[in-house]
Amino acid sequence: MSRTRRYTIRCPKCGELSKEEKIVEDGIVKVYCDCANCGKILVDQYDEKKAPEGKGKDLSDQLGQYFLVFRKYSLILFFLILVLFSGLSYYLYNQLVESRVFIYDQQIRYSKLNNNYLELMNTTASINAYYEEIQKRYDNLTIEYQNLEDRYDAIYREKNYIYKELNETILLQKTTVYEDNKTIELSAKSNITLTYNAIYAGYIVVNYTSSGEMFFWFGSSIIENRYYARYPPSFPDTTNQGSIKIPVCSTVYVFIQNPNDEIDVTVNLDIQYFY
C-alpha cells in the first residue's frame, strides 16, 4: 500500500481546495478528496496496470482544466448577477424615491389631521365642561326629585292612613277595649258607676254575667250628665247575664245597681267601644 498527497483538487461537493489522497491497494488506485468540510470523498479508482496512459498522472491537470472552465463560467455568472443587482438597485432606488414622496405626502396629511385633532380636542374640552355643568344640574334635580318623591310618599302614606281612619270611623270599624273580663263585687243595695271617654260617636257592647239580679243605667256628658237608657228597659225588671249595645258619645257613664236587700252580687263584664 502506498499513499501520495497533493493540494491540487477541489471538493466535488463544496468546491473548496482540498487534499488529494491516492491509495494503491492490490494494484487498484483509489483517489480521495480529503475535504476539511465534507470529509474524505472517493473521487476515482482504476487498475494501475490496465490504466490508460496518463491516467493518474494527468488527473490533476484535468481537474485544473475543469477549474478554468468553471472560473470562466463563474465570471459570466458574476457579470450576470452584477447586471441583475444593478437593475434591482435602480428599482429599489426608484421605490425609495417614491416612498419618500409618499412619506412627505403622509406627513402633510398628518399635519392637517393633527390640526383637526387639536380643534376637536378643544371642542371636546368645551363639550366636557358643558356636560359637567349639565351633569351637576341633573344631579341637583335628581336630589330635588328624590326629596319630592319622599315627600310624596310620606303624604301618600299619611293620606292613606287618614282615609283608613276616616273610613273605619264612618263605618264604626275601629275598636277600643274598655274592660276585659272585669270583676266587680256589689254588696246588697250597692252600686258602682264606670266612666269612659268616647272621643267619637259610636257604640259600646257590654257582655256580662252576674251571680245575682241587677240592672244598668247609661248616661253621657253630652246630655248634661243625665242617664238616657236603662237595661232591662222595663222597670223593675233585672238581669243576670246578656249582651247590651248602646250608642255613646263624649263622656260615658255605666251605672250598675244591685237591687237585692240581702244578697251580694259578683259581676264579670267585657266592654268594647266601636267608633
Instruction: Please check whether residues 268 and 199 belong to one and the same domain.
Output: yes
Tens of pLDDT, residues 92-136: 999 999 889 999 989 999 989 999 999 988 888 889 899 999 999
Please report whether residue 29 resides in a domain: yes
63 occurs within a structural domain: no
Same domain, 224 and 268: yes
CB within 8 Å of 234: residues ≥ 6 apart: none
Quote the domain boundaries for residue 108: 75-171
25 belongs to a structural domain: yes
| Residue 198 in domain | yes
Boundary-marking domain end, from 171, 191, 213: 171
Own/partner pairs for 39-48, CB < 8 Å, 24+ apart?
41/11, 41/12, 41/13, 43/9, 43/12, 48/24
Give 270's contacts (C-beta < 8 A, 6+ positions apart). Answer: 177, 179, 180, 181, 182, 205, 206, 207, 208
What would the grid cell of residue 208 be? 256580662
Instruction: Answer yes or no: do 202 and 255 share one domain.
Output: yes
Is there a domain that residue 88 lies in? yes
Let me know whether 186 and 128 are in one domain: no
**Is residue 51 domain-resident?**
yes
What is the CATH classification number for the domain harbouring 247? Answer: 2.60.120.680
Q: Which residue is associated with the grid cell 356636560?
A: 131
Last residue within a domain, chosen from 137, 171, 205: 171
Return the HEC string of the chain.
CEEEEEEEEECCCCCCEEEEEEEEECCEEEEEEEECCCEEEEEEEEECCCCCCCCCCCHHHHHHHHHHHHHHHHHHHHHHHHHHHHHHHHHHHHHHHHHHHHHHHHHHHHHHHHHHHHHHHHHHHHHHHHHHHHHHHHHHHHHHHHHHHHHHHHHHHHHHHHHHHHHHHHCCCCEEEEEEEEEEEECCCCEEEEEEEEEEEEEEEEEEEEEEEEEEEEEEHHHCCEEEEEECCCCCCCEEEEEEEEEEEEEEEEEEECCCCCCCEEEEEEEEEEC
Q: Within this chain, do residues 107 and 183 fall inside the same structural domain, yes or no?
A: no
Q: Do 144 and 85 sit in the same domain of this protein? A: yes
Asked if residue 184 and residue 166 are part of one domain, the reply reads: no
Residues 52 and 38 in one domain: yes
Residue 259 domain-assigned?
Answer: yes
Q: Is 148 found in the same domain as 128?
A: yes
Residue 271, pLDDT above cutoff 60: yes
Indicate whether 138 belongs to any domain: yes
What's residue 17's pLDDT? Answer: 78
Looking at the DSSP bridge assignments, the partners of residue 45 are 30
User: Could you tell me the CA-to-CA distances from 62 to 9, 50, 57, 126, 162 in Å, in that order?
Assistant: 10, 19, 10, 90, 130
Residue 173 binned pLDDT confidence (cut-offs 50, 70, 90): confident
Whether residue 160 is found in the same domain as residue 187: no
Task: Single out the residue of 244, 242, 193 nearest to residue 221, CA to CA.
Answer: 193
Note if the pTM is more than 0.85: no
Q: Do 155 and 246 fall into the same domain?
A: no
| Domains identified in the chain, total number | 3
> pLDDT by residue (tens digit) across 236-267?
999 999 999 999 999 999 999 999 999 999 99
Among residues 171, 195, 210, which one ends one of the domains? Answer: 171
Tens digit of pLDDT for each residue in 180-200?
999 999 999 999 999 999 988
**How open is the CA angle 178-183-186, to the nearest 5 degrees?**
115
Contact 40, 56 (CB under 8 A): no
Same domain, 218 and 244: yes
Rounded to whole angstroms, the Cα distance separating 126 from 131 reads 8
